[in-house]
Amino acid sequence: MTEPAVARVGVLISGQGSNMEALVRGAGPVAGYEVALVLSNRPDASGLERARALGVPTVAIDHRPFGKDREAHEAQVHGALLEAGCTHVALAGYMRLLTPFLVEAWAGRMVNIHPSLLPLYPGLDTHRRAIEAGDAEAGCSVHMVTAGVDEGPVIAQARVPILPGDTPESLSARVLEAEHRLYPAALSDWISGR
């Protein structure tokens, strides 16, 4: 397959899609990528409407009819990504554990953003855990997606302070702002080989 001049990124979401919006706003010829598709496993994800308002094609592939057959759901997701001509995948609040099928299909071409300074705090509830540990700072990481959850090589990180009196909510808001700056820049640098 001949690579398009500008990478075509499929963004996978499950929720509000604020990182997806940051990726769309950061896209363009200079960034070296465009968002070709926004796909959600939840048909009611508010991020789908957000993507449509930004003029980006959307697809919802509900995981529920597939029950425990995660691979069958992923086969549909994979098909939709290929149909849209995607060359890369960016997970942005996609709340599904991936099977080896999708991880291997996009090996070296799929990244995720995680709201902690990996390898600290993989998984859920990162902000509460950072506060309870007495950490002085928190942050977010963009990493390659590999078989282990939040375990792939880190591409870029941004740090924010944890302030006295911070709650998981106040820290989450601070980290999310950092995510919106980090993700488009990290995606662009990675795709452009910088």
Residue 86 or 118: the one with the smaller Cβ distance to ligand GRF is 118
Structure tokens at 7: 């990478």
Indicate the DSSP class of residue 28: B
Q: Minimum Å distance from CB 45 to ligand GRF?
A: 8
Rg (CA), the chain: 16
Binding mask 122-141 for ligand GRF (x = CB under 6 A): ------------------x-
Instruction: Tell me how many degrees the CA angle 106-110-115 measures, rounded to the nearest 5.
Output: 150
Examine residue 184 and tell whether it contacts ligand GRF (CB under 6 A): no
Structure tokens at 90: 């960016």
Residue 115 or 184: the one with the smaller Cβ distance to ligand GRF is 115
Examine residue 15 and tell whether it contacts ligand GRF (CB under 6 A): yes
Query: What is the Cα–Cα distance from 144 to 107, expressed in whole angstroms?
Result: 8
Examine residue 150 and tell whether it contacts ligand GRF (CB under 6 A): no
- The dihedral region occupied by 13, where left means phi > 0, alpha psi between -120 and 50, and beta the remainder, is beta
Please enumerate in sequence order all residues whose Cβ is within 8 A of that of 25, keeping only pairs 6 or more positions apart, or say none: 54, 184
The residues that are catalytic are 114
Q: Minimum Å distance from CB 115 to ligand GRF?
A: 4
Q: Which of 23, 31, 92, 138 binds ligand GRF (CB under 6 A)?
A: 92
Instruction: Tell me how many residues contact ligand GRF (CB under 6 A).
Output: 16
Q: Which of 38, 113, 130, 158 binds ligand GRF (CB under 6 A)?
A: 113
Examine residue 31 and tell whether it contacts ligand GRF (CB under 6 A): no
Q: What is the rounded (10 degree) CA torsion for 135, 147, 104, 188?
A: 0
Structure tokens at 42: 């939840």
Q: What is the contact surface with ligand GRF in residues (CB under 6 A)?
A: 13, 15-20, 47, 92-93, 113-115, 140, 176, 179
